[in-house]
Amino acid sequence: MPKKAVKKPEGELPAQLLVNKIVIDKDYDEMLGKAYGKVSGKALELSLAEALYLLKNKKIEVRSGTKTISFSQLMQRGLKTDKRLNERFVVYEDLRERGLIVKTGFKFGCDFRVYRRGVSVKSGPKSPGEHTRWIVSVVPEDYTCSFPELSRAVRLAHSIRARMLWAVVDSENNVTYYEILRIRP
């Protein structure tokens, strides 16, 4: 008796694990349209937090070689290179569930840059409504911050016309956001 072909759930895209990023090499237009990842060459690259979110929501199937990787396996692998991956994922998921567009914030010295709902993320000149709304730093609840660090973060946010959020993740993976503003007397 011939084997039955196993049909993937609708919308689940094959993705390949490459060290600390996930790559989708075809049929990713819908993902791109929903502001996931960034195009590099002819592939869509996802951060680990993005990939974990999409994997948890059954939008992608992650493979390493020929082996399928589960959510917990991907998290464990990611924690080897990023000790804060769990906290970052919790915040990423919370922001996405609120309908916000979330991108990595590495070039701004933070964890994420966040755009309002419905904004089309693009490079080049932007209208005021298309700019990054918040830059987000993710910290555990026992994190100690110095005033100079806090000041640098707020000044950076101000310089790019964004607001600074500290996302504090507690031991139960609940997130509390603190917005830090610069006030000029």
pLDDT digits (tens, 9 = 90+) for 50-109: 999 999 999 999 999 899 999 999 999 999 999 999 999 999 999 999 999 999 998 888
Q: Please give the domain boundaries of the chain with CATH numbers for all domains.
A: 11-82 (3.40.1170.20), 84-185 (3.40.1350.10)
Q: What's the gap between Cα 176 and its chain centre?
A: 17
Strand 112-115 with 67-69, pairing = unpaired
Burial of 112 (0-12, 13-18, 19+ CB in 10 A): buried
Q: Name the residue among 75, 87, 85 with its Cα closest to residue 142.
A: 87
pTM, whole model, 2 decimals? 0.87
pLDDT tens-digit readout, 131-150: 789 999 999 999 998 888 88
Q: How many angstroms separate the CA atoms of 180 and 159, rounded?
A: 14
